Amino acid sequence: MSNDLITRLTRRLQNIYPDVTMAADVAAEIERLCINFMEGRKNRCGKTAAEQRWSQEDVILITYGNSVQQAGEVPFQTLSRFLKEHVADTLNAVHILPFSPYSSDDGFSVIDYRQVNPDWGNWDDVASIAENFDLMADLVVNHCSRESLWFIDYVANCEPYSDYFIEVDPGTDVSAVTRPRNTPLLTPVHTHRGVRHVWATFSEDQIDLNYANPKVLVEMMNIMLFYVEQGARFIRLDAIAYLWKQIGTNCIHLPQTHEVVKLMHDIVEAVAPEVVLITETNVPVAENLSYFGHSDEAHMVYQFGLPPLVLHALNRGKSDYLADWASKIPPLPEGCTYLNFTASHDGIGVRPVEGILPAHEVENLIDCMHKFGGFVSMKANSDGTESPYEINIALFDACMGTRRGPDHFQVQRFLCSQAIMLAMQGIPAVYIHSLTASPNDLAHVEQTGRTRSINRRIWNREELGVLLGNPVTPQAEVFNRLREMIQIRRRQPAFHPDARQEVIRINSDLFILKRSCGDSGQTVFAISNVTERQMELPLASLGFLVLGMSDLLATGAGPLGETLMMGPYQTVWLTSE
């Protein structure tokens, strides 16, 4: 390894651990991890070079390892067959949500980071998927399961795990701590040293790790490199914002947390430059974007404002707030981009629209989602009150109507949401339950007792196959049309993640993006009608369009005349190239 790397690591670690000797020792340990990693990869090369980290062809599918199941077959093998048969020509990357053994939270309470859930498959099954698709893996950095061997050894006071978790006197004032949940922050644990109260940001089964102990940091860096060795090209840093704790602060986005992300960036740039680090921070926009740093932290951040604002625009039939937000997205730092999504395994967060959507608009949207079968999860505030954290609903059913109630535009409205997401600057990520138009799974909620289960349906492969094979089902209509849109998108240089984006404001009925690629000269105008009304738009009134443009989404349609006709919730991608 170069002297430059060890110097960078040491300086970075001194910002985390002020003790100079400690920082130097930790840097030497991480350097050894990097050397061992590189020796194991001598005969292997990265899939893509760092300077070609992404392109318009990158589209990610988000799925659990068991989202599609078939009797007599382990879920990973079923998933692998589903991917090869249905999306191999459509998507090139797969985010398999946590697939380690777990005790709760559908995988986010990890028991053993280095093992695959035996109910789902093994590392060979993961490798089989990674051979055909770029793999995104979750690094659950903030916490682990209380059933993990780490925590069991902590309870038994066995080294080195006796200091792997954070003990706090229950009398300590922790009211300043930012909470993403309404559960108690401290949970009592009976240990060999008596009852101890440990920090648990998310649940009593998810015990926060103590990064003030450098052994925890080194261990997590080792696990990150292990995932890369297993084929992960994308590393998603789950709940990274809460990593560092300091009593008397809000314990979110602390400087040490940012330094840890920078440390990870330094490591992958040195030993695996094809790897993309993604921070998952479901927080207001400015806080979220801070994880780009100065092009020295995350390569990608989740565009958390997009899901609630797209849903709001389609629910209200007005694009004002969506357009305002999109027009103020700052230019991307070099080597950085966004991960765009409209749905995921979690709910639709409302924190990211704080200061963007007025409180009454959020309340009205939540009320409407309740009528469509959804729920709302709450978070605890420092003053003892609670406020909405996320809406729990399947996006397909969230699009079943507007504030006036359900209507017959559900499929069109839903496809409009996906078309907007696909046109945004960045890399799109499509949730498997968006691809399959999955409705609310209330039976799953009743079974688990968790509202997030409404959007985590487990499909029987045969049942899903019947639905996708019948062209009159909404599942088939969405699946086929969405696949077609993605395939068209992947061929357009103007949709490269680095291509320029501009918001054009005409009226609140339309949401318009102009995407331009300087290298190819291609420009695409992505225009979405967010209303249920038919529109006749003379080109002269639009001003920026010209005769002869064609709609990439309209198969067999002729060039654009003097009037642009748009149906309810229709999207057009117009280009002259």
The string of DSSP letters for 386-407 reads: EEEEEEES-HHHHTSEETTEE-
The answer to whether the CB of 235 falls within 8 A of the CB of 174 is: no
How many helical (H) and strand (E) elements, i.e. helices and strands, does the chain have? 18, 26
CA distance linking residue 559 with residue 365, whole number of Å: 39
Which amino acid type is present at position 487?
A: Q
CA distance linking residue 365 with residue 348, whole number of Å: 11
The two most distant CA atoms of the chain are separated, in Å, by 80
Which amino acid type is present at position 266?
A: D
The answer to whether the CB of 418 falls within 8 A of the CB of 430 is: yes
Please count the residues of the chain: 577
Q: Which helix (H) or strand (E) holds 376?
A: strand 375-380
Give the C-alpha distances (Å, rounded to integers) separating 21 from 10, 352, 510: 10, 40, 59
* Sign of the torsion angle spanned by Cα atoms 127, 129, 134, 139: negative
Alpha carbon 469 to chain centroid distance? 29
Residue 163 known to be catalytic? no
Tokens of 345: 């395994």
The b/e string for 214-242 (b: 16+ C-beta within 10 A; e otherwise) is bbbbbbbbbbbbbbbeebbbbbbbbbbbb
The answer to whether the CB of 556 falls within 8 A of the CB of 547 is: no
Tell me, letter by letter, the H, E, C secondary structure of 304-337.
Answer: CCHHHHHHHHHHHCCCHHHHHHHHCCCCCCCCCE
Q: Sort strands 68-69 and 93-96 into parallel, antiparallel or unpaired.
A: unpaired
Please give the DSSP secondary-structure letter assigned to residue 485.
H
CA distance linking residue 383 with residue 479, whole number of Å: 46
The answer to whether the CB of 332 falls within 8 A of the CB of 338 is: yes
Q: 1: exposed, middle or buried (C-beta count within 10 Å: 0-12, 13-18, 19+)?
A: middle
Please name which of 99, 127, 123 lies closest in space to residue 113, comparing C-alpha atoms: 99
Exactly one of 238, 346, 397, 441 is catalytic; name it: 238
The string of DSSP letters for 353-365 reads: GTTTS-HHHHHHH
Q: 486: exposed, middle or buried (C-beta count within 10 Å: 0-12, 13-18, 19+)?
A: buried
CA distance linking residue 92 with residue 136, whole number of Å: 11
Long-range contacts of 2-5 (CB under 8 A, 24+ apart): 2/270, 5/31, 5/34, 5/266, 5/270
Q: Which residues are catalytic?
A: 238
